[in-house]
A and B are shown apart, each in its own frame.
Chain A
Amino acid sequence: MIYGGLGDSRTRRTVTGMARVLRALRLDGMLLSGLIAVSLFGLFVLWSAAGDNDALWFSQLARVGIGFVLLVVLAQIPDHFLRMLSPAAFVVGLVLLAVVALVGDIGKGAQRWLDLGVIRFQPSEIMKLAVPMMCAWYLHQRPLPPSLRDVGAVLLIILVPVGLIAEQPDLGTALLVAASGTIVLVMGGLSWTSILGGIAILGAAVPVGWHFMHEYQRQRVLTLLDPQSDALGAGYHIIQSQIAIGSGGVFGKGWMNGSQAQLEFLPERSTDFIFAVIGEELGLLGLMALLVGYLFIVGRGMTMALQCRDAFTRLLAGSIALTFFVYACVNAGMVMGLLPVVGVPLPLVSYGGTSFVTLMAGFGILMALHSSRKLVG
């Protein structure tokens, strides 16, 4: 079998050189341009947020490069191969998480990294993709909407890694992984009764979850309700980021001119709280521009999912696109004081290697799934 955009005889339109290259590389032009636009916007903002730290900016630039290369590479994988790979990826990720948990027990304290000597990475990042892949793999071979038994199995697939990640403790990533799997389930046709029932159970589980939370995690939640109660600790982040955003106004104070950001009142301004730098320096307009970029990416991703040829590709593509939006909302909500501070980076903008590279890997897979559809007669 020959894969790729070859033999595309159905298209009558004359294609430009650029489009031909994109097709040969199995890339989606619209999605790619959206990603490039937001990444450039991110680098632009990071230049200001990084302050004097040029090294930080250049290392992010290198990661952006690596991310796009990875996207192109992953886009070449045939979809049936991805499907075959899903259980293996999931099991490997699970084993690595268990290893990290054991090492963490010995090291006493938050343990998320696996040190392989040359590179260090967080196995939880693998799970951001492996969990939705596994869920889609499980559901695609069964009739949809899923039976109650299948729903139970998928929930198990989600909850085991989520539990391990939450134990690390890394609540932010745990929630994102949980979201990516749950989205597969909902997109796969989970009945309305189940959805509403699930929400009800979640509501009832809040007190139980509270009981199992680490002290600092509880503090974060309490702080959300009343930031002033802990103005030095977690509340400090929220107070300062809201001052930054609010003082930015409609047009912002100008690039490199945010006093909150530049005078270092704003903590973690190049990583988790970079959204506040945008709000302060580029104002409401800057935030709107970013939001439009995100919505464009999600919209294009969903359209691509609709064009996919089978349940596996559809579900996985839909989950990748929607999870991306969840990332953005959780970060924006946390920085603007709508959600607890959970340590989720702003997608494609925050400084930090693994997050950017994982996102690009996801979009690479999304493009691979989409390209494969053309083989259907």
Chain B
Amino acid sequence: MRRVRIKDEALEQRMFFQRVLLAATVVALVALALVGRAFWLQVVQHAHYVELSQGNRARIEPLPPNRGVIYDRSGRVIAENTPAYQLELIREQAGDLEDTLAHLVRFGLLERGDVSRVRQLVLSRRTFEAVPFLLQLDDEEVARYAVHRHELPGVLLETRMARHYPYGPVGAHALGYVGTISEQDLSRVDRERYFGTGVIGKTGIERAYEAELLGIGGYREVLVNAEGRPARLAEGADPQLRTFEPQAGRGLRLTLDIELQRVAEEAFAGRRGGAVAIDPANGDVLVFASLPSFDPNGFTRGISRGDYLALTENPDQPLFNRVLRGTYPPGSTIKPLMALAGLENGVIQPTDQIFCGGSYSLPGSRHRYREPRRGGTHGTVEMRRAVMKSCDVYFYRLANTLGIQRIHDSMARMGFGEPTGIDIEGERGGIMPSPAWKKTAFSTREQQVWFPGETVIVGIGQGYWTATLLQLAKATALLAMRGQPYQPRLVRALVDPATGKVDEKKARSLPRIELQHPENWEIIVDAMVAVTTGGTASLAARGASYSIAGKTGTAQVFSVGQAEKYDEKEVAERLRDHAVFVAFAPAESPRLAVAVLVENGGFGSSAAAPIARAIFDAYLAKAPP
């Protein structure tokens, strides 16, 4: 039985009174504790604190940690710290900040355009902090400072370790760079950890692995007088000042092979584009080339406004990371994957023959989808020959048979339409089109309708379909591994700065793609080998001591009208098609998968395939590790 309780006002009042007494006791005890603590600090320990505070007192000077060193996959140093002079400003010692900035400009130590940036930087830090604002001074600047130092109170010349990238622009897009900390950076990190540290990772690996690279700051106590200047001690005085050593950041061992990277970048011979090479067995990215590149050493010095504008306004866009953020139509490079989708969905057999007369029309339509080359007919082709000769008509027809939904589902499984998940920030996912995608991408109802013609051109990697080089490389690696994908990665291990102990990270395997008929892998690989032995890429593969499975492609920059024919020579250089090539080698036991794109390079066979060949030659010449 449950007793129903009712409110008893008298009881509640009595109880509340008791609780007030309890609260009063607690309040009294806590007050006593506070008084006790104040008494301890102000009476018992008074003399000790007076010593610290009056006349000379200990000022804390930061000892910034050494940033972690970055090595390539075989241990070559590609980002290190070298001693350099830098200018620092302490606001509370500078007197009038505007005067100081004006003096710096007059003495040629600061560009006029950088004044507002430096002002903002100094004002964003605490008044007693030394804020580095000009890094890596050259000898002439040091001399100028020495002459004028008495006119620059609060401006100090310090020797600090500065970031240096010995390989300069090679691999800069993967590596990223460090730069002076901005107000924006401080909003995403714990500002206390950057006391005395002038720089922070801005892009690439330097940014993504900031937490590992940074290290832990130390400090040193220095006696300063009432004006805040370092004080001289009387002889024999022992101020009992302490030093806490900083702890260096952790080193990184990358998956990049900096020499292979250099080979790849040189093979571009000044052309724009990108190349990715992946070890298919673990997702290690050995080459991550986006060209043109830039020299990250310019940023570590605190790049001037003028130099930065020169980089951003360059029409070749050297700061644009083409590998990570460039989305291009994949072109014919996806034909092997389309063929695989056809086989797996049972809509076509490898031996089925199709006649290519140079153009394809949808049933009941007069619109002709053409082969790109003048007079390009392939006659009767089956699957192997269609891939080998890159016959568009075959794949127009296959795409129409498959339908857009099945194409979308097959390609999404291969990773198209979403980022690969590589371990640096800012990756784009491209577009894998489908009727559902079109509904979200367009606003009006008429635009949202999916037309059969749009399916046809998706069959040759054109239309709405865009992909990144990382996606192409990942899908190629997946073919090489016959269905076992790995997440691409740039960092393979962390290195302990004190002991040098290498802590290897495990490769991240992704869910395996199981085929209903596993022998289809070999049918596709065989067709890709045919491409390099008798097909569109045979010239670039000639004389190789290993077998290459590849596929050329051409990404359309603008579309050719119905009655026109594409003439490479007549089209302005920047409107020319992008050349694409994907490949892996050796075909039977793959060690490297590559995707290359040369912007405005024309057909993939002539511009992109030789770059892939150069990468393979340089890498496969070495014995397997």
Q: Which of B29-37, B267-275, B471-479 forms contacts with chain A?
A: B29-37
User: Is there a chain A Cβ closer than 8 Å to B1's Cβ?
Assistant: no
User: Is there a chain B Cβ closer than 8 Å to A288's Cβ?
Assistant: yes
User: What's the tally of chain A residues with a CB closer than 8 Å to chain B?
Assistant: 62
Contact with A along B550-578 (1 / 0, CB 8 A): 00000000000000000000000000000
Q: Which residues of B contact A329 (CB under 8 A)?
A: 30, 34
User: Is there a chain A Cβ closer than 8 Å to B42's Cβ?
Assistant: yes
In the complex, are the beta carbons of A250 and B42 less than 8 A apart? Answer: yes
Q: Which residues of A contact B159 (CB under 8 A)?
A: none
User: Is there a chain B Cβ closer than 8 Å to A157's Cβ?
Assistant: no
Contact with B along A134-178 (1 / 0, CB 8 A): 000000001111010000000000000000000000000000000
Residue with the greatest number of chain A CB neighbours at <10 A, chosen from B31, B50, B195, B228: B31
Q: Tell me, rounded to whole Å, the shortest Cβ–Cβ distance linking A26 to chain B.
A: 23
Query: Which of A232, A260, A284 is close to B43, meaning CB atoms less than 8 Å apart?
Result: A284
Q: In chain A, what residue has the closest Cβ to B51? A: A247
**Given that A143-B5, A264-B127 are contacting pairs, would A302 and B42 also be in contact in the complex, using a CB cutoff of 8 Å?**
no
Q: Which residues of B contact A41 (CB under 8 A)?
A: none
User: Is there a chain A Cβ closer than 8 Å to B139's Cβ?
Assistant: no
In the complex, are the beta carbons of B16 and A187 less than 8 A apart? Answer: yes
Contact with A along B1-45 (1 / 0, CB 8 A): 000011111011101110110111001001101110111011101
**Given that A143-B6, A311-B12 are contacting pairs, would A249 and B23 also be in contact in the complex, using a CB cutoff of 8 Å?**
no
**Given that A250-B43, A298-B27, A336-B34 are contacting pairs, would A228 and B242 also be in contact in the complex, using a CB cutoff of 8 Å?**
yes
Q: Which residues of A contact B19 (CB under 8 A)?
A: 186-189, 318
Q: Which of A10-18, A78-86, A116-124, A238-246 forms contacts with chain B?
A: A238-246
Q: In chain A, what residue has the closest Cβ to B92? A: A264
**Given that A108-B188, A295-B31 are contacting pairs, would A232 and B217 also be in contact in the complex, using a CB cutoff of 8 Å?**
yes
Q: In chain B, what residue has the closest Cβ to A237? A: B192
User: Is there a chain A Cβ closer than 8 Å to B219's Cβ?
Assistant: yes
In the complex, are the beta carbons of B42 and A314 less than 8 A apart? Answer: no
**How far is it, in angstroms, between the C-alpha of A247 and the C-alpha of B51 when the chains are bound?**
8
**Given that A233-B193, A291-B34, A318-B20 are contacting pairs, would A284 and B42 also be in contact in the complex, using a CB cutoff of 8 Å?**
yes
Query: Which of B38, B128, B187 is close to A265, meaning CB atoms less than 8 Å apart?
Result: B128
In the complex, are the beta carbons of A234 and B192 less than 8 A apart? Answer: yes
Contact with A along B113-157 (1 / 0, CB 8 A): 000000000000011100000000000000000000000000000
Q: In chain B, what residue has the closest Cβ to A233? A: B192
Q: Which residues of A contact B187 (CB under 8 A)?
A: 109
User: Is there a chain A Cβ closer than 8 Å to B229's Cβ?
Assistant: no
**How far is it, in angstroms, between the C-alpha of A230 and the C-alpha of B12 when the chains are bound?**
50
Q: Tell me, rounded to whole Å, the shortest Cβ–Cβ distance linking A210 to chain B.
A: 17
User: Is there a chain A Cβ closer than 8 Å to B46's Cβ?
Assistant: yes
In the complex, are the beta carbons of A247 and B60 less than 8 A apart? Answer: no
Q: Tell me, rounded to whole Å, the shortest Cβ–Cβ distance linking A287 to chain B.
A: 5
**Given that A232-B62, A288-B35 are contacting pairs, would A246 and B41 also be in contact in the complex, using a CB cutoff of 8 Å?**
yes
Q: Tell me, rounded to whole Å, the shortest Cβ–Cβ distance linking A258 to chain B.
A: 9
Q: In chain A, what residue has the closest Cβ to B60? A: A231
**How far is it, in angstroms, between the C-alpha of A298 and the C-alpha of B31 when the chains are bound?**
12
**How far is it, in angstroms, between the C-alpha of A298 and the C-alpha of B442 when the chains are bound?**
63
User: Is there a chain B Cβ closer than 8 Å to A5's Cβ?
Assistant: no
**How far is it, in angstroms, between the C-alpha of A267 and the C-alpha of B128 when the chains are bound?**
10
User: Is there a chain B Cβ closer than 8 Å to A263's Cβ?
Assistant: yes
Q: Which residues of B contact A336 (CB under 8 A)?
A: 34, 37-38, 41
In the complex, are the beta carbons of B126 and A267 less than 8 A apart? Answer: yes
Query: Which of B190, B228, B244 is close to A216, meaning CB atoms less than 8 Å apart?
Result: B190
The majority secondary structure among interface residues of chain A is helix
**Given that A247-B50, A302-B23, A314-B16 are contacting pairs, would A291 and B35 also be in contact in the complex, using a CB cutoff of 8 Å?**
yes
Q: In chain B, what residue has the closest Cβ to A329? A: B30
**How far is it, in angstroms, between the C-alpha of A228 and the C-alpha of B52 when the chains are bound?**
15
User: Is there a chain B Cβ closer than 8 Å to A113's Cβ?
Assistant: no
User: Is there a chain B Cβ closer than 8 Å to A279's Cβ?
Assistant: yes
In the complex, are the beta carbons of B219 and A279 less than 8 A apart? Answer: no
**Given that A246-B49, A247-B50 are contacting pairs, would A231 and B244 also be in contact in the complex, using a CB cutoff of 8 Å?**
yes
User: What's the tally of chain B residues with a CB closer than 8 Å to chain A?
Assistant: 56
In the complex, are the beta carbons of A279 and B38 less than 8 A apart? Answer: yes
**How far is it, in angstroms, between the C-alpha of A299 and the C-alpha of B8 when the chains are bound?**
26
Q: Which residues of A contact B12 (CB under 8 A)?
A: 144, 189, 311
In the complex, are the beta carbons of A259 and B54 less than 8 A apart? Answer: yes
Query: Which of B42, B128, B195, B242 is close to A246, meaning CB atoms less than 8 Å apart?
Result: B42
Q: Which residues of A contact B60 (CB under 8 A)?
A: 231-232, 236
User: Is there a chain B Cβ closer than 8 Å to A367's Cβ?
Assistant: no
User: Is there a chain B Cβ closer than 8 Å to A332's Cβ?
Assistant: yes
Contact with B along A331-353 (1 / 0, CB 8 A): 01100111000000000000000
Residue with the greatest number of chain A CB neighbours at <10 A, chosen from B20, B128, B193: B20
In the complex, are the beta carbons of A245 and B38 less than 8 A apart? Answer: yes
User: Is there a chain A Cβ closer than 8 Å to B489's Cβ?
Assistant: no
**How far is it, in angstroms, between the C-alpha of A314 and the C-alpha of B16 when the chains are bound?**
8
User: Is there a chain B Cβ closer than 8 Å to A322's Cβ?
Assistant: yes
In the complex, are the beta carbons of A231 and B52 less than 8 A apart? Answer: no
Q: Tell me, rounded to whole Å, the shortest Cβ–Cβ distance linking A220 to chain B.
A: 10
Query: Which of B6, B39, B188 is close to A109, meaning CB atoms less than 8 Å apart?
Result: B188
Q: Which residues of A contact B618 (CB under 8 A)?
A: none
**How far is it, in angstroms, between the C-alpha of A263 and the C-alpha of B45 when the chains are bound?**
22
In the complex, are the beta carbons of A247 and B53 less than 8 A apart? Answer: yes
Q: In chain A, what residue has the closest Cβ to B19? A: A187
**How far is it, in angstroms, between the C-alpha of A222 and the C-alpha of B37 when the chains are bound?**
20
**Given that A232-B217, A336-B37 are contacting pairs, would A302 and B24 also be in contact in the complex, using a CB cutoff of 8 Å?**
yes
User: Is there a chain B Cβ closer than 8 Å to A255's Cβ?
Assistant: no
In the complex, are the beta carbons of A247 and B54 less than 8 A apart? Answer: yes
**Given that A108-B188, A245-B38 are contacting pairs, would A143 and B8 also be in contact in the complex, using a CB cutoff of 8 Å?**
yes
**How far is it, in angstroms, between the C-alpha of A244 and the C-alpha of B49 when the chains are bound?**
8
Query: Which of A232, A233, A249, A310 is close to B46, meaning CB atoms less than 8 Å apart?
Result: A249
Q: Which residues of A contact B502 (CB under 8 A)?
A: none
Q: List 7 A-B contacts (CB under 8 A).
A: A143-B7, A187-B16, A232-B217, A243-B49, A244-B53, A288-B38, A306-B20
B contacts, CB < 8 Å to A: 5-9, 11-13, 15-17, 19-20, 22-24, 27, 30-31, 33-35, 37-39, 41-43, 45-46, 48-50, 52-54, 57, 60, 62, 92, 126-128, 187-188, 190, 192-193, 195-196, 217, 219, 226, 228, 242, 244
A sample of 10 more A-B contacts (CB under 8 A), given A246-B50, A336-B37, is A187-B19, A231-B60, A232-B195, A233-B195, A234-B192, A236-B60, A243-B52, A263-B228, A265-B57, A302-B23
7 A-B pairs with least C-beta separation: A246-B49, A233-B192, A247-B53, A232-B195, A143-B5, A246-B41, A247-B49
A contacts, CB < 8 Å to B: 108-109, 142-145, 147, 183, 186-189, 215-216, 219, 228, 230-234, 236, 242-250, 259-260, 263-265, 267, 279, 283-284, 287-288, 291, 295, 298-299, 302, 305-306, 310-311, 314-315, 318, 322, 325, 329, 332-333, 336-338
